[in-house]
Structure 1
Amino acid sequence: MEEADLATLGQTRTKTQARLVGDIGGTHARFAIADANGRLDHVRVLRCAQFADPEQAIRHYLALTGLALPSTAAFGIANPVSGDEVVMTNHHWRFSVAALRAAIGLQRLLLLNDFTALALALPLLQVHERHAVGGGQIVTGAAIGVLGPGTGLGVSGLVAAAGHYVPLQGEGGHVTLAARNRREADVIDCLRQHDEHVSAERVLSGPGLIILHDALRAMAGQPAASLPSTEISARAIASTCPYCMEALHLFCALLGTVAADLALTLGARGGVYLGGGILGQLGRFFTRSAFRQRFEDKGRFSAYLAQIPTFIIDAPYAALSGAAIALESPLCIGYESTERAQ
């Protein structure tokens, strides 16, 4: 579905409270109107490929909803945000934050990494907006990790400081992918023939699943099948293709290892959360996969990791709420352009 609507989640609010929020990925751009507490109205999901730039997508959103433009906006984007110039890693959009703000007519525009926005929303998740994969118990106030495969691999987290959570702004999806056994080492060696650096994102993403599937076929002397990631997943779940099945099993296992590395790095005893656009579609395949076994498979620290819960996020628009929350933060999160600064 290229466009989706969501019923009102919050209460009626004044125009001065309203702000435009967005979650811009490599495939979809999600927009909504939010209040300061992250409650959302008028959610729409648009395909990025249908628009030349984010300005066109935003104007289309406003036309669809018939809404007036709020004076303030915050967008999470699947990209590093280190300054005014943004060049998307997994899409062709390239733009200036200040120029976008001025072109649309905003007084204030904040741009931040999409998984930083998602991390900010994690403390607000209700019990029904997540489900556990495996055991473990949340330690209140401890660090929290979040990662998720979609068009790329997003990674972030929250660390406690002076009684408050501070979101991380990193690019953990581009860490080097590590093998846990001989088969995985052989697969990574095969992938390295095409890409010298085999990052976690190179495999643990929608495009990565295709690359992984084709590598397994090549290792068996078979030609590439040119299957989309959704078809690979469908055939794996239906057990109709051995290459698809192995690809998806490897995908889940490798994700468990990367998630465990994040948990150890952060000391994420507050839990590790899994977002992105892929895992929710896998259903029982994922919960029955090797993900959790591999998450706990860390030798002397296996017992430590067994106590850390892992959750799949069931709130599809959590990053939009996080973007709204970022606007209220006293911290420097992302890059901001204001009318006063021009």
Structure 2
Amino acid sequence: MTLLLAGDIGGTKTILRLVKANPGADREAALESLYEVRYSSHEFSGLVPMVRTFLDAAAHERGEPFAPEKACFAIAGPIVNNTSKLTNLTWTLDATLLSEQLSISKVALINDFAAVGYGVLGLNDSHTHTLQVGKVEENAPIAVIGAGTGLGQCFLVYADGNYQVLSSEGGHADFAPKTELEFQLTGYLLDKNNIERISVERVVSGQGIVAIYQFLRDRDFAPESPEVGSVVREWESQAGRSEKSADPAATISQAALAQSDRLSIKTMQMFIEAYGAEAGNLALKLLPYGGVYIAGGIAAKNLPLLEDGSFIYAFNHKGRMASLMERVPVHVVLNADVGLIGAALRASRL
């Protein structure tokens, strides 16, 4: 048995989890969660005092001291030489210093979406929902894509007896419009933002949902409902603030799920089709017959919209390559803790 410390560190909140793992823990092996706490990141001057507080609380709660042997922290930001400077915090993290200061023999820092990549290896059938069964090939590549605040992408390749996660910045690739309405959306976003190119992340993300809604609203596609419109206008009035009180993307998607607002329904239809097309683009480049995993909170919260067929239609709609695409298994990740699971799995390999 190995005692691991897994962390998911963000500018707003940090989740720490103690995990007990059997030797060689990986896809089939269970990782037993022993203790978990969610902290406000801004309440601590750094990760070290937070971890010390966490371990003290765990010892008090469980009646025994805990000394993790390995640790992995998933960071919402870039990792360079196992160091990271968080964007929305004053913290600077260095794995070597963390190892020394916390007396943990091995410490790793990984990008939060890379942690999601490792996390899919620890999921079981109850943690996913299959959109396309496909034909699974053993040890074939695996692709992961997840729309949230931005658009994360990574992929896994099998080597030396294990899957290895490779990061990607595919979310910043060019958006490829396919319909007349999507071409109009592209022009609208170019003009509105005074920019020269549109990345796929500007469309396939939470901000993309709002952008599509604004485009349809400003083009008078349908009358704006007072309920949704008031939330969007409140969000627009807070432009420039780092934190906003309104969450229009959630409001729009909820209205679409409830079939209560035509403008929101069309917004989510365009979003889901663009999401499926981009997931298909990623799959076309990798041929991930180990599966494509759709992560991020937007997919899980809008599962009925992904199930209506438009996502998979756009995913498979690749001309002469359609028959290859239909063989790719496609799953939606339902477990919100997939990043923590991945951090624990990565720690077990140190």
Q: Give the TM bin, normalised by the shorter chain.
A: 0.7 to 0.9
Paired residue for 1:105, among 98, 102, 108?
A: 102
Q: Which residue of 2 aligns with 1:34?
A: 19
Which deviations, in whole Å up to 9, do the C-alpha atoms of 1:291-314 show, x marking residues without a partner?
110000000101100111100112
Q: Does 1:236 align with 2:259?
A: no
Q: What amino acid is aligned across from residue 174 of structure 2 in structure 1?
A: T
Q: Secondary structure at the match of 1:312?
A: strand
The more displaced of 43-52 and 245-254 is: 43-52
Q: Does 1:300 align with 2:320?
A: yes
Shift of 1:114: 1.8
Q: Does 1:92 align with 2:88?
A: yes
Per the normalisation by structure 1, the TM-score is: 0.80
Q: CA 1:56–1:243 in structure 2 vs 1: closer, same or farther (change >3 Å)? A: farther
Please say if residues 52 and 93 of structure 1, whose CA atoms lie closer than 8 Å, have aligned partners that are also in contact.
no
The more displaced of 220-229 and 184-193 is: 220-229
Q: Which residue of 1 aligns with 2:202?
A: 202
The more displaced of 137-146 and 113-122 is: 113-122
Q: Distance in 1 between matches of 2:45 and 2:218?
A: 36
Q: Distance in 1 between matches of 2:334 and 2:312?
A: 18
Counting matched residue pairs gives 313
The more displaced of 118-127 and 285-294 is: 118-127
Q: CA 1:288–1:86 in structure 2 vs 1: closer, same or farther (change >3 Å)? A: same
Q: Distance in 1 between matches of 2:153 and 2:134?
A: 21
Q: CA RMSD in A?
A: 2.9
- Give the fraction of aligned pairs with identical amino acids, expressed as a percent: 28
Q: What amino acid is aligned across from residue 281 of structure 2 in structure 1?
A: D
Q: Distance in 2 between matches of 1:243 and 1:48?
A: 37
Q: Secondary structure at the match of 2:144?
A: strand
Q: What amino acid is aligned across from residue 215 of structure 2 in structure 1?
A: A
Q: CA 1:47–1:283 in structure 2 vs 1: closer, same or farther (change >3 Å)? A: farther
Please say if residues 145 and 273 of structure 1, whose CA atoms lie closer than 8 Å, have aligned partners that are also in contact.
yes
Which deviations, in whole Å up to 9, do the C-alpha atoms of 1:248-281 show, x marking residues without a partner?
1111111111111111111201110011112111
Q: What amino acid is aligned across from residue 167 of structure 1 in structure 2?
A: V
Uncovered stretches (5+) of structure 1, i.e. residues with no partner? 1-12, 331-342
Instruction: Identify the structure with the greater helix proportion.
Output: 2
Q: Which residue of 1 aligns with 2:36?
A: 43
Q: Which residue of 1 aligns with 2:131?
A: 133
Q: Distance in 1 between matches of 2:74 and 2:167?
A: 11
Q: What amino acid is aligned across from residue 220 of structure 2 in structure 1?
A: A
Q: CA 1:269–1:40 in structure 2 vs 1: closer, same or farther (change >3 Å)? A: same
Q: CA 1:157–1:54 in structure 2 vs 1: closer, same or farther (change >3 Å)? A: same
Alignment of 1:224-263 (within 5 A): 225=233, 226=235, 228=247, 229-263=249-283
Per the normalisation by structure 2, the TM-score is: 0.78
Please say if residues 157 and 168 of structure 1, whose CA atoms lie closer than 8 Å, have aligned partners that are also in contact.
yes
Which deviations, in whole Å up to 9, do the C-alpha atoms of 1:39-73 show, x marking residues without a partner?
32323445557767655765665566557563532
Paired residue for 1:167, among 155, 165, 168?
A: 165
Q: CA 1:271–1:232 in structure 2 vs 1: closer, same or farther (change >3 Å)? A: same
Paired residue for 2:122, among 110, 121, 124?
A: 124
Q: CA 1:29–1:220 in structure 2 vs 1: closer, same or farther (change >3 Å)? A: farther
Please say if residues 122 and 345 of structure 2, whose CA atoms lie closer than 8 Å, have aligned partners that are also in contact.
no
Q: CA 1:321–1:165 in structure 2 vs 1: closer, same or farther (change >3 Å)? A: same
Which one has the largest radius of gyration?
2
Which deviations, in whole Å up to 9, do the C-alpha atoms of 1:122-176 show, x marking residues without a partner?
2332222211013412111110101111222221111122443221122222222
Q: Which residue of 1 aligns with 2:288?
A: 268
Please say if residues 5 and 347 of structure 2, whose CA atoms lie closer than 8 Å, have aligned partners that are also in contact.
no
Q: CA 1:186–1:162 in structure 2 vs 1: closer, same or farther (change >3 Å)? A: same
Uncovered stretches (5+) of structure 2, i.e. residues with no partner? 26-30, 236-245
